[in-house]
Structure 1
Amino acid sequence: MASSRRIFVVGGSGFLGQAVCRAALARGWEVLSLSRHGAPKQAAAGHGGPGDPLAGGVRWIKGDALEPDTFREHLAGCDAVVHSVGVLMENGYKRLADIGYRSSSSRSAPTYESANRDTALSMARAARGTAGVGAFVYISARDAIPFIDSRYISTKREAERELLAHRDQMRPIILRPGFMYSPARPATLPIAAGTKVFQALFDRTPLGCALKNTPFAKAASPPLRRELVADAIVNAIDSPGVSGILEIADIERLGARRSS
C-alpha cells in the first residue's frame, strides 16, 4: 500500500487539478487545495455530487498564490506541492479566480508571466522555506503551440529553470505533457481524436516530411488522458528517485505504474 502523504494542490478545482485530488484521495492521502474563495461551488468545480470524493475529501484553503501570507501556514506538514495553474491565451478565456489566483479591479488580468511563472515561483519559494515539503510538481508543456504567443512556453521554461536551480533544497518534478483530454470533459475528446490522426499522418506519411520544419510539427505529439497524468503525478511524488523534467514517454510510464 502506498505511504500516506499530505499534498497541497494549487488549482484543485481545475481540469487537471481535480484529477490529481481524486488520485491522491484514492490512496488515502490528505489533500489541501488553494482557492480564492475557499471551497468552490459544486457546479463550478465540476463535482459529481455527494459521492464524489472532492465534495468532502479536499480541505479548501482561501488564499492567493501570489500572496504567500494567505497560504504559508497551511504548507506546514505537507510533503509536496502540486502547481496546476496556468493560461494558454491572455484573452480572459480561462478565469483563475477560483483556482488560487486573484483577478480583481486592483490587479490586471492574468498574463503568461503572472499565471504561468509567478504563481509557481511564489508557491515554490514559500514551500522551500517550509520544513518537510520535499517535492514541488510543476505542470509545464512539451513545446510551443502553433499560433500561440511564444511567451506561453517561455514563461514556463523560466519557471522550470528556477525550480531546477534549487533542486538541492526541494525535489522538482516538472511534467511536459501535450494536449490532455478526459471523458469527464466531452469537448476534449474530438480534439484528442484529431490530434491522434494528425500524429499518425505525421509519422507514417510524406505529410510528416513536408511539415517537419514548420510550426505544425510541434502539434504532432500524442494527447494524454487527464487521469493518466494525475496518476503520474502522485506516483512521482511517492517515488523519491523521480526528479527533473518528465517528457511524454516518462509521464506515460509513471501513469501506468501501479501503486505499491
Structure 2
Amino acid sequence: MKQNLITIIGGNGYIGRSIAKHAINRGFNVNCISRSGQVKDGSGQSHWDKKINHIKGDALKPQEFKDILIHSDKIIHSVGILRAQSDEQYVQLNRDSAVSIAKYVDELSQQDNLARKFLMISSSHYPPFMKRYLETKEEAEQIIKNETKLNYVILKPGFIYSAKERWWSSPLKGPVDLAFNIFGGKQCSNNIVKFESSISLNEVCLAALYALESEEITKASLFNNDISKYAQMYKEKHNIIFTV
C-alpha cells in the first residue's frame, strides 16, 4: 500500500474534483475514479489535473478497480446526485455506491490487515422537494457505521458554495444563511426542506484532507462547525491562502 495515495470515487464531480486539486497541491498522489475515466468535458486540463491518474470505473463494481484500492491508504466517496430521475437512481448513486465502496474497502483491509481511511461526502440538509437526496445519503451512513469496521469519517456540510467553481452558488449563500437564521436548522412544514447554513467549497476540501491525515479523527461525523474548524487548522498548518 502506497502512503499518501488518495483515491477519489466521483473525482470528476463538483466536490471530488476540488478535493483532488487541493490534494495535488499538497503533494498527494491522486487517483480519480469516474464513469468516463477522463477529465470532465469542458473543464480543460490544468497543470494539477495532469498529475491525476484518471481511471474509468463503476462505483457499484469496486472489484473492477481492486488494484487501485489495494494500493490506496485513503479513499474518498464523493458520488451524489441532487435531482434524480427516479427513486432508484437516488438509491443507486447516493446509497448503494457508497456502501459498495465502503464494504469492499473494509473487506480488503481485513484481508491484508492494513489500515485504510474512508471518507464519505454526505450532507446535513436537502434542497426543496429533494428529501430523498438526504435520506439515501443517511441510509448509507448508517450501513457504513453499523456493518463495517472501517476507520471512517463522514462530512455533513450545509449548502456548499464557490464563486469560482459554481458562480451561481455564491448569490444563494445569503438566502440560505438567512433561512438558517430563521429556522435554526429545523425542517419546514411538510418536510419540504431542511435548512443548514452555507459553507465554502474550499473549507470542505481542506477539512477532508485534515480528517484523512489526522489520527485523532476516526469514526466521526463532521458538521459545519467542525468542518470550518479543521479547514482553518489545515490552512494555518500549511500556510494556505485562498479566496472562497
Aligned to 1:124: 102
Q: Which amino acid aligns with 2:74?
A: A
| Residue 9 (str. 1) matches residue 3 (str. 2) | no
- Unaligned 5+ segments in structure 1 are 93-108
Pairs within 5 Å for 1:133-144: 133-144=115-126
TM-score (norm 2): 0.83
User: Judging changes above 3 Å, is the alpha-carbon distance between structure 1 residues 50 and 247 closer, same or farther for their aligned structure 2 residues?
Assistant: closer
Q: Which amino acid aligns with 1:33?
A: C
Aligned to 2:169: 188
| Residue 70 (str. 1) matches residue 60 (str. 2) | no
SS at match of 1:156: helix
Question: What is the aligned counterpart of 1:178 among 145, 158, 170?
Answer: 158
TM-score (norm 1): 0.79
2-structure distance, mates of 1:195, 1:78:
37
RMSD over aligned CA atoms reads: 2.4
Aligned to 1:101: none
Alpha-carbon distance, 1:196 to partner:
2.3
Over residues 96-154 of structure 1, what are the superposed CA-to-partner deviations in whole Å (9 max), with x where a residue is unaligned?
xxxxxxxxxxxxx9611100011011111221122435211111111344422x33222
2-structure distance, mates of 1:216, 1:36:
32
2-structure distance, mates of 1:247, 1:50:
31
Over residues 25-54 of structure 1, what are the superposed CA-to-partner deviations in whole Å (9 max), with x where a residue is unaligned?
1110100011222122551xx34x443x12
User: Judging changes above 3 Å, is the alpha-carbon distance between structure 1 residues 151 and 72 closer, same or farther for their aligned structure 2 residues?
Assistant: same
Alpha-carbon distance, 1:173 to partner:
0.4
How many residues matched? 227
Aligned to 1:238: 213
SS at match of 2:76: strand
User: Judging changes above 3 Å, is the alpha-carbon distance between structure 1 residues 110 and 31 closer, same or farther for their aligned structure 2 residues?
Assistant: farther
Aligned to 2:85: 91
User: Judging changes above 3 Å, is the alpha-carbon distance between structure 1 residues 69 and 194 closer, same or farther for their aligned structure 2 residues?
Assistant: same
User: Judging changes above 3 Å, is the alpha-carbon distance between structure 1 residues 172 and 23 closer, same or farther for their aligned structure 2 residues?
Assistant: same
SS at match of 2:152: strand
